[in-house]
Structure formats: structure tokens, C-alpha cells
Chains A and B, each alone.
Chain A
Amino acid sequence: MRKGGGISIWFFVGISLLVNGVLILGAGIWEFIYPPANPVVLFRLHANLWWGAVLLLLGILYSLKFSPSRASS
């Protein structure tokens, strides 16, 4: 926000979505390969798989668009 440089809040948001996306997508893939003994309701829809992927994509987008190196260049 600071004039003359500084990291945008949207970059922090991007990093957060990116890390959460990787972790949730990873957990989704793991559960896809090794289905759990006590699955959640509607397990067949694999919510963590697609939701993790959406977060990861948004995270990549925001981290790149608001990256500090881009802002300062």
C-alpha cells in the first residue's frame, strides 16, 4: 500500500491461497488413491480435490499478479 514499494495485501492473500491449495489438493489426491475407512458424507464428490485445485489456481494468479518483484520493477 505504501507509495514507492511495499508488499500488497493481495500478495499475502495469494500466498495463503497457494499454500492452502497445495495442501488441500495433496490431501485430496491422497484420499483419492487411498480412500479413508470413515469417509465424510458425499465423499464420492471429492470436494477436497476440486476445491484444493481452485484455491491453488487462484493462489498462483494472485501471487504472480501482485508479486513484490513485479510491483517494484
Chain B
Amino acid sequence: MTQALALVVAERLVHLSAVDIVIIAFYFALVLAIGWYLKGQSGTGEDFFMAGREMTAWIAGLSFLSANLGSLELMGWAAAAYQYGILATHWYWIGAIPAMLFLALVMMPFYYISKTHSVPGYLKLRFGESSRTLSSVSFAFMTVLMSGINMYSMALVMKVVLGWDINFSIWVSSITVAIYVALGGLRSAIFNEVLQFILIWAGALVIPVMGLIEAGGWTNLKAQIAVRASSEYTHLWSTLGSFNPMGIHWTGIVLGLGFVISFGYWTTDFLVVQRVLSAKDLRAAKMAPIIGGAFKMFVPFIVILPGLLALAVLPQKLMGEAAAVASGGHSYNEVLPLMLARYAGPGLLGLGITALIAGFMSGMAGNVSAFTTVWTYDIYRALINKDASDEHYVRMGRWTTIVGVLISVGTAYLVMSFLSIMDYVQALFSFFIAPLFGTVVLGMLWKRATPKGGFWGLLAGTVSSVSMWAWVKVDPTALRYVALSSDARDMAENMYRALWSWIVCVVVTVVVSLLTEPKPDSELVGLVYGVTPIPSEGNIPLWERPIFWGAIVFVVFVAFNIWVW
């Protein structure tokens, strides 16, 4: 009887009232209205694919962060916080902040001055067509997969939380995204991302605030977690020398996550870089990732803290997906909706659910608009139809948006067979992103890197990454070579694999470059450090300089890490 009851409860976590449904419906209406309103402002390629390059630092910065707030952010990391404790915060702090500051202060000038429309576009200018083709094809592939993951996670949440049919959720959200991105292009995606960013905070903030009140403050929360789980769950660094809940050593966190994965993602994943490229001038382009970084530091408050609070206050124990299905209990992935249902009454619940939907939609729109640009400019225009009119490419962009969404829907149905969505996404990152970072950073900072070096380095890095993954899949004992420990969890394996593939990429790029003919300096102007005149910021006061704000963000970042050492 209890089991039967548990099953019924597990089918639906919350019941929406009329006011909740009105709030959700209003959100969909507003998102579509924004797309409809911006339709008239997306007539040219610059408008449709680059949002007219006229965004302020704030808009570009918030959308830069929001495009990343997909399903992994909200649901996945709250689940990871419940599972592994505060260690999950590394993905927000060391796994993001240094990279965002590096993008802003070191890399952005080259992206911006080169006037590229995409990251593969930069590779074309720096290394030539073959590097661009390799990176644009792998990016397009990765992006639709990510989008599919996003969609599937959302549909799953809606099923668990609200009892909505998976197919209904997938189609309603994807058709909405397809409409507003196809109508207004990148500008519409960015506008909606800013709106989604605000709604995510407005809807999710209630959980940590109420949770901290219930737990009796941070100190009491730590004491309760020590009793119910382990005191290691509330330490960020002090447990990383030996055993810790995640089974990872600090070298993996610092080098694998903090350096390779994070720098790869935040500085070369076109999904996020595209938002910054839409900035109105170089100063705005440099400030945007700094503003994004400042907010990123506080995202753990609405994502990690709810997971930790759940450890202390939830009466039931959460479990893995398989165990939850078998026993009719709740899985880790449900931790955020469970906490929402705990504190949010009518109205607030609708806003919280809207926050979740907004997160999923911003991630999906980010993927779709980046995919559309790369397909249209870096694949279609580069390889298939070189000399069409601007109008033709915009039309192609609109259709690609719709086709991209359809492919994502197909992927969403495929992804259903994977148990651990998070780890799968991490694996994808390290297939493509880590080597790409090696190629881009060498291209920007080392003028001796040659077109052949760039291409072969990127290819060798990507192939080595996929091979290491396949090796462990075929022979699990290989884990002790790839991740330096046979006990490594998936996340640790992904981090080390990213590190190795980055090293392979860099070594191959350097060796091949030294053996081949470099490009003359005159062809590298505007693309590489040392031969590119960086425009002076002029005689502006210190507090208007990006470096000043970058330094402030960095100091706060260090202070946060010491606080929960």
C-alpha cells in the first residue's frame, strides 16, 4: 500500500493552481511577443546573426551567462550538490571565473578586432578553411546534441513535477523557441535571455532564502549536514587532497576543470562567445564577460545551496535515477523541484516553474542561434553556396533555426536512453572543447603557429579525446591510465581526458608548426598577439576600465573560495 502510494506521489510532485498556470502562460506569451516585435529588426545578416553588433555590456553580459543557464545549471548542479556536497561549486567558481576574466581581458580584443562572426570564423582567418570546417562541423554536431539534452531534461522535469506528457513538453517548448529565434534571430534570443535571466532569479531565490530560515542559518546548516551526510560536504578545497565525495584530486579540479574544460568552454564555445560578439564596441565586449562573471559567482546561491539545504531539511533520502525508479522514491535530479514545492505556495510556484522553463529555453535558444550562425556562415556559405545574397543567407538562417530545432527534438528522443545526462554532457565538452581551446589560444598568442599546425593539432586533440573515451568504454580498467585512478568517477575521467586531449593538441600544433612554413606577419594583423595594435581605451577614469572590474571580480572570487575552504 505504501509502495503504491509512493508511486502515485512520484508521478507528480506539485499541483499547479490557476494562478500558476496564468503565470506560465503569460511567460510563453511574452516570449513570443518579443520575437514578433523584433521580427522587423532582423532583415540583414548582421541583424539576424549578430544582433546588429549594438548590445550594451549589460545585455551582452547577462545573455552570455543566461545562454549557459540550461538544464545542467538549474537541475543538474542542484542534484550534484546533494550528491557531492559543496564541491559542485567548483564548476561555478574556479570552473568559470578565471576563464571569463581571461576571455574578457586577453582574448576578446582578437575576437572583436578580427570582426569575425563566429569562433570557427576566427579559425578560418587565423588558420584557414580546413580548421574552420573541422571545428564548425564538430560544433554543429555538439550543439544539436546539447540542445536535445536540454529538451529531454526539461520534458522529464515537467513530467515528474507537473505530470505533463513528455511529448507535449518537448513540442511546446521547442516550437516556441523555434518561432522566436526564427523571427527575430540573435537579437530575439538575447532579449529573451535577459528576461529569462531575471525570471530565473526571481523564481529561484525563494528556495535559498526560505531554506536558510528553516535550517537556522549557514552555521546550523553545516552542523545538520555533518550529522545527516558528512562534514566533508561543506568544504570546497580542504578535502581535495585525499578521499572526497566526488573521488577527485585537487589537480583534476585545478588543471582539468579550472584550466582546460572551463577555459575551453567559456572562451571558445561559440554558444557563449556569440553573445559577447554582439557587443556594441570593444569596451562593452570586454565588460560583458566580467559582468557575466560577477553574476556567475552568485549562481551557486540559487543552485548549489538548495542542494545542500535539501541534505539538511528534506525528510526523505534522495537516490540515483535507477534506484528511484525501482523503489518509487525521488532521484537526485528532483531536488530542486522538491525544494520548490516545499516552500512555494500558489503564484510563487508558478514563477519557480517558469524559472525552470526559462532556464531550459534560454539554453535551447542559445544552442539553436549558435548552430544557425555556424551552419549558415561556416558550413553553408563556406562549402556549399559561396556567392548568394545577404537576403538568401538570412532566409537560410530562419529555416536552419527550424530544422535545427527539429534535429534537437530527434536528439531528445535519442538521449532518453542515457542514464546520466550530466556526465554525458561533460564527456561531450571534452571531445571538442578542450582541443579547440588549445588551437584558439595558440592561434591568438603565438604568431609562429601555422595553418597546418592548427589543423593537425585540432584533429589530433579531438581524435585522442574520442579514443580515450572509447578505450574506457571498451575496457573499463583503462580508467587507471586515463584518470590516474581506477576509482575515478565519470566526472573525474572527463576532466583528465580533457587535460590530455588539450596537451595532445598543443604538442601536435607546436611540433607541426615548427616544421611548416609560418604565415607572414602582414596576414596576421588583427588576429594575433604581438602584431595587432590594440586600440587604447583613451583617457578614462579607473572605474570605467574593464581591468579594474576584472580585478574586483577576481578578489571576490578568491575571498569566496577561502570562506568555504
A residues adjacent to B (C-beta < 8 A): 1-3, 6-7, 9, 12-13, 15-17, 19-20, 23-28, 30-31, 36, 39-43, 45, 47-48, 51-52, 55
Contact of B23 among A23, A39, A45 (CB under 8 A): A23
> B30 at interface (Cβ–Cβ under 8 A)?
yes
A1-B343 contact given A23-B22, A23-B23, CB 8 Å threshold: no
Q: Which of B19, B209, B210, B348 contacts A41 (CB 8 A)?
A: B210
- 12 contacts across the A-B interface (CB closer than 8 A): A1-B56, A12-B191, A13-B194, A15-B30, A16-B199, A24-B23, A40-B341, A42-B213, A43-B345, A47-B209, A47-B348, A51-B206
Establish whether residues B346 and A27, one from each chain, have CB atoms under 8 Å apart when the complex forms: yes
* Distance, CA A1 to CA B63, complexed state (A): 14
B23 to chain A, nearest CB (A): 6
Query: What A residues does B345 contact at CB under 8 A?
Result: 27-28, 31, 36, 39-40, 43, 47-48
Complex interface residues of chain B between 81 and 108 (CB less than 8 A to chain A): none
- Please list the residues of chain B having a beta carbon within 8 angstroms of any beta carbon in chain A: 17, 19, 22-23, 26-27, 30, 34, 37, 41, 52, 54-56, 59, 187, 191, 194-195, 198-199, 202, 206, 209-210, 213-214, 341-348, 350-351, 354
Q: A16-B195, A27-B347, A40-B345 are in contact. Are A7 and B37 (CB under 8 A)?
A: yes
In the complex, are the beta carbons of B348 and A1 less than 8 A apart? no
For B19, list chain A residues within 8 Å (CB).
23-24, 26-27
What is the CA–CA distance of A42 and B345 in the complex, to the nearest angstrom? 10
From B22, B54, B198, A13 is in contact (CB under 8 Å) with: B198
Q: Contacts A1-B55, A9-B195, A42-B210; is A23 near B343 (CB within 8 Å)? A: no
CA–CA, A2 and B209, complex, Å: 38
The distance in angstroms between the C-alpha atoms of A31 and B52, with both chains bound, is 47
CA distance A19 to B29 in the complex (A): 12
Output the residue of B199, B210, B343, B346 with the most chain A CB within 10 A: B346
Task: Determine whether the beta carbon of B17 is less than 8 Å from that of A27.
Answer: yes
Bound complex: CA of A12 vs CA of B34, how far in Å? 8
A20–B22 CA distance with the chains assembled, in angstroms? 9
A31–B198 touching, CB < 8 Å: no
Q: In the complex, which residues of chain A have a beta carbon less than 8 angstroms from the beta carbon of B214?
A: 41-42
Distance between B69 CB and nearest chain A CB, rounded to angstroms: 16
B347 contacts which of A3, A17, A45, A52 (Cβ < 8 Å)?
A52
Count of A-B contacts judged by CB separation below 8 Å: 101
3 tightest CB-CB pairs across the interface, nearest first? A27-B347, A24-B347, A27-B346
- Grouping DSSP codes into helix (H, G, I), strand (E, B) and loop, the B interface class, with mixed when no group exceeds half, is helix
Contact of A23 among B56, B187, B347 (CB under 8 A): B347
Min C-beta distance of B212 to chain A, whole Å: 11
Are A17 and B346 interface neighbours, CB within 8 A?
no
Contact indicator B30/A6 (Cβ below 8 Å)? no
Of all chain B residues, which has the CB nearest A54? B202
Nearest-neighbour CB distance to chain A for B276, whole angstroms, equals 16
Contact (Cβ within 8 A) A12 B343: no
- The answer to whether B30 and A55 have CB atoms under 8 Å apart is no
Asked whether A9 lies within 8 Å of B343 as measured between CB atoms, the reply is no
CA distance A52 to B59 in the complex (A): 25
Known: A1-B187, A9-B194, A41-B214. A17 touches B343 (CB 8 A): no
List of A residues within 8 angstroms of B213 by Cβ: 42, 45
CB distance from A59 to the nearest CB of B (A): 10
By CB atoms of chain A within 10 A, which of B56, B198, B210 has the most?
B198
Name the residue in A2, A26, A40 with the highest tally of chain B Cβ atoms < 10 Å from its Cβ. A40
Report whether B344 and A20 are in contact in the complex, using a CB–CB cutoff of 8 Å.
Answer: no
Task: Report A-chain residues with C-beta under 8 Å of the C-beta of B199.
Answer: 16, 20
User: Given A17-B202, A20-B23, is A42 in contact with B343 using a C-beta cutoff of 8 Å?
Assistant: yes
Q: List chain A residues, Cβ under 8 A from B348.
A: 24, 27, 47-48, 51-52
Contact A20 to B210, CB < 8 A, known contacts A15-B30, A26-B347: no
Whether A6 pairs with B41 at a CB distance below 8 angstroms is yes
9 further contact pairs, Cβ within 8 A, besides A27-B345, A40-B344:
A1-B187, A12-B195, A16-B199, A20-B23, A20-B199, A26-B347, A28-B345, A40-B343, A48-B345
> What A residues does B195 contact at CB under 8 A?
9, 12-13, 16
Contacts of A2 in B (CB 8 A): 41, 52, 54
In the bound assembly, the distance between CA atoms of A26 and B350 in angstroms comes to 13
- Name the distance in Å between A57's Cβ and chain B's nearest Cβ: 12
Q: Give the shortest distance, in Å, between B444 (CB) and chain A (any CB).
A: 29
Question: How far does the alpha carbon of A31 sit from the alpha carbon of B194 in the complex, in Å?
Answer: 31
The CA of A31 and the CA of B347, in the complex, are separated in Å by 11
Candidates B34, B52, B344; contact of A47 at CB < 8 Å: B344
CA gap between A13 and B194 in the complex, in Å = 8
Bound: A26/B17 CA distance, A: 13
Collect the chain B residues with CB atoms within 8 Å of residue A31's CB.
Answer: 345-346
Cα separation A9 to B55 with both chains bound (whole Å): 11
